[in-house]
């Protein structure tokens, strides 16, 4: 099977159709095979549910339209569509509302952009910087940690931004929901997720 398709993201809903998680397509197929979940497909603004066997048959019927942006994985005898959304059949707990404070979410919040020069960089060319240095009482919080490129970080050193002649590109703040989800929703690939995400309350975290 194609690794890139199996690594695609799939939104997971609980039994009550509330978004609770995001998993890889590989994990989603495992849940479908174990009959712990079903596929939820948004078609013409309506929700249609499919168990794994039915989803395979739907894929066979749509096989001729493989150029519509849908991702596929190859099985021995046929190809299977990668679902965008699945629903857990026996899980009705509410989604988490706390966004984890970790490197991945900070990079996603700042969109891999240095918060001093504004330039976008690969993750391995960025570091995390305390706007108010820890040596001067700065805390390790959403409001005081930003992405910084190597050059700007070295220039700033242990000073405040204004002392180093730098200005924040954007004031750091704690996001209300997962920054990773925010980035994914910018892609047309995951537009069907929007109907299941309440932007004011629920935060979906990657596992």
Question: Is residue 171 one of the residues assigned to a domain?
Answer: no
What number is the average pLDDT over the span 101-129? 93
Question: Is residue 160 one of the residues assigned to a domain?
Answer: yes
| In the chain, % of residues over pLDDT 90 | 50
Q: Which residue has the tokens 């966004």?
A: 99
Nearest Cα to Cα of residue 178 among 93, 112, 98: 98
Question: Is residue 44 one of the residues assigned to a domain?
Answer: yes
Say how far apart CA 38 and CA 28 lie, in whole Å.
9
Q: Report the pLDDT value the prediction gives residue 87, as an integer from 0 to 100.
A: 94
Residue 202's pLDDT band (boundaries 50, 70, 90)? very low
Question: Is residue 169 one of the residues assigned to a domain?
Answer: no
* Same-domain pairing of 83 and 110: no
102: pLDDT strictly greater than 80: yes
> pLDDT digit string (tens) for 64-75?
555 566 888 887
Question: Is residue 201 one of the residues assigned to a domain?
Answer: no
Q: Where are the alpha helices (DSSP H) in 74-149?
A: 103-109
| The token pair that represents 120 in the structure block | 């976008």
Say how far apart CA 201 and CA 86 lie, in whole Å.
21
* Same-domain pairing of 120 and 38: no
Return the higher-pLDDT residue of 133 and 91: 133
| The token pair that represents 42 in the structure block | 């948004």
Question: Is residue 158 one of the residues assigned to a domain?
Answer: yes
* Same-domain pairing of 188 and 92: yes
Please answer whether residues 128 and 146 qualify as being in contact, where contact means their C-beta atoms are separated by less than 8 angstroms: yes
199: pLDDT strictly greater than 90: no
Helices (H) and strands (E) in the chain, counts: 6, 9
53: pLDDT strictly greater than 50: yes
Say how far apart CA 147 and CA 145 lie, in whole Å.
7
Q: How many domains does the chain have?
A: 2
* Same-domain pairing of 142 and 63: no
Q: What is the rounded (10 degree) CA torsion for 173, 175, 176, 179? A: 170
Question: Is residue 202 one of the residues assigned to a domain?
Answer: no
* Same-domain pairing of 74 and 107: no
* Same-domain pairing of 34 and 117: no
Segments forming the whole domain that contains residue 122:
103-164
* Same-domain pairing of 14 and 77: yes
* Same-domain pairing of 133 and 62: no
* Same-domain pairing of 91 and 107: no
Return the higher-pLDDT residue of 202 and 74: 74
Residue 198's pLDDT band (boundaries 50, 70, 90)? low
* Same-domain pairing of 10 and 81: yes
* Same-domain pairing of 20 and 121: no
Return the higher-pLDDT residue of 62 and 18: 18
* Same-domain pairing of 12 and 81: yes
Question: Is residue 172 one of the residues assigned to a domain?
Answer: no
> pLDDT digit string (tens) for 134-165?
999 999 999 999 999 999 999 999 999 999 99
Q: Report the pLDDT value the prediction gives residue 162, as an integer from 0 to 100.
A: 96
């Amino acid at each position: 099977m194609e690794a890139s398709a199996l690594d695609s993201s799939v939104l997971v809903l609980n039994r009550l159709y509330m978004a609770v998680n995001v998993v890889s397509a590989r994990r989603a197929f495992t849940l479908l095979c174990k009959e712990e979940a079903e596929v939820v497909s948004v078609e013409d603004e309506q929700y249609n549910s499919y168990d794994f066997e039915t989803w395979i048959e739907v894929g066979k019927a749509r096989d001729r339209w493989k150029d519509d942006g849908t991702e596929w994985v190859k099985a021995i005898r046929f190809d299977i569509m990668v679902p965008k959304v699945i629903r857990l059949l026996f899980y009705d707990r509410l989604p988490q509302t706390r966004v984890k404070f970790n490197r991945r979410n900070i990079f996603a919040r700042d969109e891999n952009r240095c918060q001093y020069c504004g330039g976008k960089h690969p993750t391995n060319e960025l570091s995390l910087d305390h706007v108010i240095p820890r040596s001067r009482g700065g805390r390790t919080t959403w409001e005081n940690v930003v992405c910084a490129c190597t050059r700007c970080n070295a220039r700033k050193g242990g000073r405040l931004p204004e002392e180093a002649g730098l200005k924040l590109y954007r004031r750091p703040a704690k996001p209300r929901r997962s920054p990773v989800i925010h980035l994914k929703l910018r892609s047309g690939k995951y537009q069907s997720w929007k109907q299941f995400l309440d932007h004011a309350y629920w935060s979906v975290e990657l596992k």
